[in-house]
Amino acid sequence: NRLAEISAEISSMGLSLRGVIEGNIGAGKSSVVNIFNKISGVEAIQESVKIWEELGILKDFYGDPKKFALLFQSVAFATRLASTSSSMITDDSSRVIISERSVWADRYCFAENLAEDGTMTEKEIKIYQIWHRILINGHLDKTVPDVIIYLRASPETCKRRQEIRARKSEDQIPLEYFQKLHSKHEEWLLKDDEWNPIAIGIPSHELSLTASG
């Protein structure tokens, strides 16, 4: 209710707000976006995981990360741009837009981690970064959110939640991968004052996810 009131207030003042929900795999981002989706006047943008699964590219990536990392990261980035483009190109005021993840998490958490652990070659990460720069060029102000809600959960909790939801394309993801992504989120969002997220601690016992995640 409080969220609904705040959203209504923002719109009634003729203001717009771009919010992003960030956090590790399994942190519960889609559940939070779903809550926003039920609030009238809020445009909630879900991530395109269904498309990644339909294309088979998420399964390919986990099956052979070295071979498919650049391709998967490119698809993830392209589909995110496609799903958020209307909010990026219109200058409408009175809009509250909440999206799951951002082009920044794709790059600073996932792509950088894949480069650092050697899954992507130096050439591949350079190519990814060039695409990233070119495609967001001119939209920079629209891709930087007004507010970031960071769902801060331990890697162990995220792994348990990911196992419970049992998405078909995700095999066994090792705890180490959750730990690396956790560090990447912490480094990116909490190490300096640039992003200033609202960090929400997710308790380890909060395991109310259903199999559909």
Region class of 166: left (phi > 0), else alpha (psi between -120 and 50), else beta: left
Closer residue to ligand TTP (CB): 28 or 155: 28
Which residues in this chain contact ligand TTP in the complex, by CB under 6 A? 23, 25-30, 47, 49, 58, 73, 76, 101, 106, 110, 170, 213
Closer residue to ligand TTP (CB): 34 or 93: 34
Taking a C-beta distance cutoff of 8 angstroms, is the pair 74, 20 a contact? Answer: no
9 Cβ partners below 8 Å, 6+ apart? none
**Catalytic residue, candidates 22, 47, 100, 112:** 100
CB of 94 to ligand TTP, least distance (A): 28
Closer residue to ligand TTP (CB): 95 or 152: 152
Closer residue to ligand TTP (CB): 127 or 213: 213
CB of 133 to ligand TTP, least distance (A): 16
Question: How many residues would you count in the chain?
Answer: 213
CB of 143 to ligand TTP, least distance (A): 14
79 Cβ partners below 8 Å, 6+ apart? 48, 51, 52
* Distance between CA atoms of residues 157 and 178, nearest Å: 10
CB of 16 to ligand TTP, least distance (A): 24
Whether 100 sits among the annotated catalytic residues: the reply is: yes
From the CA atom positions of the chain, what is the Rg in Å?
Answer: 17
- Provide the annotated active-site residues: 100
